[in-house]
Structure 1
């Protein structure tokens, strides 16, 4: 048996009782923390709570050579991820590999950032379109700095459909955790290059440390938001489409958005 368990958003206490029970009964415990990281805890604290050794996997152990799933043919194995399990395509692929190998699989869900942002900001969950990720810029073989324009295109397409956009921010082993501020700078750089008005004077929402005792939620025009101090990671960004009046009121009262946005919404 291979059980996929979502650990929630911030620390070791976010796990469900069902998930904790499954871990304590397991023969082997594996985890990956490259798609998401629990910033409020450590592997040592997880092990103390579980009473089990946690084998932390590298990206290649999950995506390229997941030989460890063979243990699940004879043993009770659990695989841990931050947030909710199966949110990442990587995890779906891993489950399919297990199924193809004749291994029974099971899911135990955890709190997801996809739903947490709605609660923190007041934006309606049914109004979200396709999500995207802003990666760190990289240097080409010719020495040019390459900035991905895919997030810009995703925001543009969603806005044309009057849908909000959830933007995940890159986690890189060498470059670290991308901040809201860096993400805004990159989007504005693409805007300046393309001049299509997608991000021009756009209301943007930045969220830091969702699930912690003191999350930061701030909404403002993009040129102002890029200078706001969000503190430590993890950060995430939402680019709203046209706002419903309740969403606008929520952003003003819950996220400190400028009150003038209330005049631009429909009843």
Structure 2
């Protein structure tokens, strides 16, 4: 059996009761650590709370060499842990497919997802979100324009855009809102478009989340604090969405 378990947004206490029971009953526990992280905890703290030894998995482990996970699931009960909800990244769906091809039974125990937490924190209606996009750190001469292309397409349809900010776990480097705004503003200038409003969110799911809305200059000035950060570029706001941002995100 291979069980995919979402751990939620912040720390070891966000896992569901059903998920915790499955972890404690497992023969092998794997934690994917490259698509997102639980910034409110560490692997030793997870191991202490779960009562299990945890094997971290990096990109190559998941995408190119998943055999240890599948072998463990073929022999007994294995769990595959991720921050947030388990099937947000397509690589995790790929592992479930591979398990099915080997005749391994699978199941999913869901956790809180950033995609829904953002809606609750900033008050933007989830049915008004278009395609999401990630903003990567530039590398050398590589400066992708995909983010502004997606945002522009969504704005043209009056849709909000969820903007994921890059994580370089091997370098302990997490993109901040101000860095993402700088990159998007440069892309917007090159593309000849304008982003009128941003919403930044820091540490969703923690006891101290921060939500703040404003134009580019406001977002550059505002101190969001420690990671993880994520952003939304809203379409035209409904009255209730605007009031929510005024009351809970400092929108002027």
TM-score by length of 2: 0.97
1:26 counterpart residue number: 26
Greater Cα shift, 221-230 or 125-134? 221-230
Q: Distance in 2 between matches of 1:124 and 1:207?
A: 16
The number of equivalent residue pairs is: 250
Residue 138 of structure 1 aligns to a residue whose secondary structure is coil
Query: What do the CA deviations read for 1:24-54 (whole angstroms, capped 9, x no partner)?
Result: 1101000111111000001011111111100
Runs of 4+ in structure 1 off by over 4 angstroms are none
1:70 counterpart residue number: 71
Q: Distance in 2 between matches of 1:134 and 1:28?
A: 34
1:111 counterpart residue number: 112
Q: Distance in 1 between matches of 2:135 and 2:158?
A: 21
* 1:175 Cα offset (Å): 6.7
TM-score by length of 1: 0.92
Aligned 8 A contact 2:152 2:193 in 1: no
Aligned 8 A contact 1:158 1:165 in 2: yes
Q: Distance in 1 between matches of 2:193 and 2:224?
A: 28
Q: Distance in 2 between matches of 1:170 and 1:116?
A: 18
Question: Cα RMSD over matched residues?
Answer: 0.9
Q: Distance in 1 between matches of 2:220 and 2:62?
A: 35
1:142 counterpart residue number: none
Q: Distance in 2 between matches of 1:26 and 1:60?
A: 23
Aligned 8 A contact 1:136 1:175 in 2: no
Q: 2:218 aligns with which of 220, 224, 228?
A: 224
Query: What do the CA deviations read for 1:181-237 (whole angstroms, capped 9, x no partner)?
Result: 00000001112222223x2xx111000000110101000112221221111100000
